[in-house]
């Protein structure tokens, strides 16, 4: 809401003020809650304080009025520029999130050997079942299995309305506590698997230098007919600066797999960039759900106590078999609620 601050000495200056002075009643909480704008809010609040002091100087000290008015014009211009910058960031974020209806879900076995690989496979099935319940499409892009049916790592494409909004907070380390089938002494083992959620943009903002890429073509060796198995349709990319390796074998042609591999690489690089930005610009906020870092421990699946605990929001749910069968809606709902309100439950201390 704009208003005018009249100056006696110049009608043209008065018009300038009408154009640039904005109401101080803007809701700064919206900007504080976004890591990309939180650091700008501090500068904006300082300008508000400077504005208040300068207005007081204009009223109380006529000798300094002209100089103070010039300072005020500068302050108001800086405020307007910051408002436009923050509004642009928020609008871009909203637009990007609305179009993220395709993601790559990556699960990697962590500490725990074969047990970690089995847990990674269970997590993949959990997300696949949840996707089915939401009528989303899924497809395995690449996988590396061990001898007992677990996953060393696996990448799955998920397409559907609201997929990123629902699964965006699944990135991080998932931990399982249970007695493995091979454990004869009945001891509880702790194993981990990491999950990464990477939105796929229609037009990536990442510029990939071709000189940084090594491309290899191999046979897919999977289902899909004789062409897939006999012709080198699978594509493997190696990004030298980051040591990231991408393999795509789900498409029926070499070109399609190459395009998919580059899209996944761009998504990975954007995720790395986003993590770095959040870390550098992070500020305390009410609805912050963890760091968004794939190395952050976010959840424990405790078999002896039949309980799942999300450590970021300090809330637990029971009935592990049901949850691992894909019924993760209550967990996702709780994360959405925490993002909006900052309210959480009480996590069990012995899961920490």
Which is more confident, 226 or 191?
A: 191
* CATH class given for the domain over 100-351: alpha beta
Q: With cut-offs at 50, 70 and 90, classify the pLDDT of residue 293.
A: low
> Strands 172-178 and 213-218, how do they pair?
unpaired
Max mean pLDDT among 124-133, 216-225, 332-341 falls in: 124-133
148-179 pLDDT, tens digit each: 889 999 999 999 998 998 999 999 999 999 99
3-state secondary structure of 85: helix
Residue 230 has pLDDT above 90, yes or no: no
How confident is the model at residue 29, as a pLDDT? 74
Residues 6 or more apart from 336 whose CB is under 8 A from it? none
Please give the Cα distance from 38 to 30 (Å, whole number).
9
| CA dihedral of residues 202, 206, 207, 212 (deg, nearest 10) | -110
**pLDDT, tens only, 58-85:** 888 888 888 888 889 999 999 999 888 8
| Runs of H (alpha helix) within the chain | 11-20, 29-32, 35-60, 65-99, 114-133, 163-167, 226-230, 254-281, 320-324, 329-341
Cα(169)–Cα(293) distance, rounded to whole angstroms?
A: 10
Rounded Cα–Cα distance for residues 215 and 229 (Å): 19
pLDDT in tens, 300-341: 999 999 999 999 999 999 999 999 999 999 999 999 988 887
Residue written as token pair 């103070």: 68
Residue 289 has what pLDDT? 55
User: 267 falls in which pLDDT band (50, 70, 90)?
Assistant: confident
Per-residue pLDDT at 246 exceeds 60: yes
């Amino acid at each position: 809401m704009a208003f005018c601050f009249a100056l006696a000495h110049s009608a043209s200056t008065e018009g300038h003020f009408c154009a640039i002075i904005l109401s101080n009643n803007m809701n700064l909480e919206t900007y504080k809650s976004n890591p990309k704008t939180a650091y700008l809010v501090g500068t904006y609040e300082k300008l508000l304080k400077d504005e208040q002091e300068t207005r007081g100087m204009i009223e109380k000290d006529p000798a300094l009025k002209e100089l103070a008015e010039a300072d005020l014009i500068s302050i108001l211009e800086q405020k307007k520029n910051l408002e436009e910058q923050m509004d642009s960031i928020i609008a871009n974020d909203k637009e990007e999130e609305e179009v993220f209806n395709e993601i790559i879900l990556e699960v990697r076995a962590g500490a725990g050997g074969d047990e970690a690989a089995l847990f990674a496979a269970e997590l993949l099935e959990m997300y696949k079942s949840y996707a089915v319940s939401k009528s989303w499409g899924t497809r395995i892009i690449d996988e590396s299995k061990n001898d007992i049916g677990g996953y060393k790592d696996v990448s799955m494409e998920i397409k559907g309305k609201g997929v990123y909004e629902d699964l965006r907070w699944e990135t991080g380390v998932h931990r399982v506590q249970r007695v493995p089938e091979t454990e004869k002494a009945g001891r509880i083992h702790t194993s981990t698997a990491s999950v990464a959620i990477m939105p796929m943009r229609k037009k990536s903002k990442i510029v990939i230098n071709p000189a940084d890429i090594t491309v290899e073509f191999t046979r897919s060796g999977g289902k899909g007919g004789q062409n897939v198995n006999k012709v080198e349709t699978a594509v493997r990319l190696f990004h030298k600066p980051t040591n990231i390796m991408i393999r795509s074998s789900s498409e029926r042609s070499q070109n399609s797999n190459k395009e998919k591999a580059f899209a996944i690489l761009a998504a990975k690089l954007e995720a790395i960039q986003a993590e770095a930005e959040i870390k550098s610009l992070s500020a305390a906020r009410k609805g912050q759900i963890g760091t968004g870092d794939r190395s952050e421990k976010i959840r424990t699946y405790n078999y002896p106590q039949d309980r799942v605990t999300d450590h970021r929001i300090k809330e637990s749910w029971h009935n592990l078999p049901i949850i691992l069968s894909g019924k993760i809606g209550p967990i996702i709902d709780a994360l959405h609620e925490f993002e909006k309100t900052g309210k959480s439950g009480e996590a069990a201390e012995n899961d920490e």
